[in-house]
């Protein structure tokens, strides 16, 4: 068994959960916050049989879009101190996904 941890944009999460649920994936949705932009995003944890990982990844890839977002350069002090006060454009990925091995899965 595998655990998929997918960090996605809040705006894509509703559609993604709908599509995954329609294919009978079990999902837990967590409200999360990006460490860099410090804005909300959504983390989904999805426990799946190994044989269904690719299907889940395909749905995630097809649903989650890359977006441009802006942050003030003050969050990057040290790297771009000459740009402090300027908005910096960052590309936020469609989804950041980790696929982990699951040692044990039990329900009581």
Q: Which positions lie near ligand 2BA, rule CB under 6 A?
A: 7, 34-37, 41, 90-93, 96
- How near is the Cβ of 107 to ligand 2BA at its closest, in Å? 27
Q: At what angle do helices 53-63 and 10-22 cross, to 10 degrees?
A: 140
Closest CA to 76 of 89, 66, 94, 67: 89
- Residue closer to ligand 2BA by CB (options 52, 57) is 57
Q: What's the rounded Cα separation, in Å, for the pair 81 and 13?
A: 35
> What is the nearest approach in angstroms of ligand 2BA to the Cβ of residue 91?
5
Of 38 and 107, CB closest to ligand 2BA:
38
Write down the residue that tokens 């804005």 correspond to.
Answer: 39
Cβ 96 to ligand 2BA shortest distance, Å: 4
């Amino acid at each position: 068994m595998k655990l998929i941890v997918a960090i996605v944009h809040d705006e894509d999460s509703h559609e993604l959960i709908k599509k995954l649920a329609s294919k009978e994936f079990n999902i837990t949705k967590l409200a999360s916050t990006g460490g860099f932009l410090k804005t909300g995003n959504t983390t989904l944890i999805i426990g799946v049989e190994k044989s269904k990982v690719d299907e889940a990844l395909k749905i995630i890839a097809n649903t989650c879009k890359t977006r441009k977002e802006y942050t003030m350069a003050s969050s990057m002090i040290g790297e771009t101190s000459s740009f402090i006060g300027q908005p910096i454009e960052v590309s936020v990925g469609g989804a950041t996904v980790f696929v982990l091995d699951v040692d044990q899965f039990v329900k009581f």
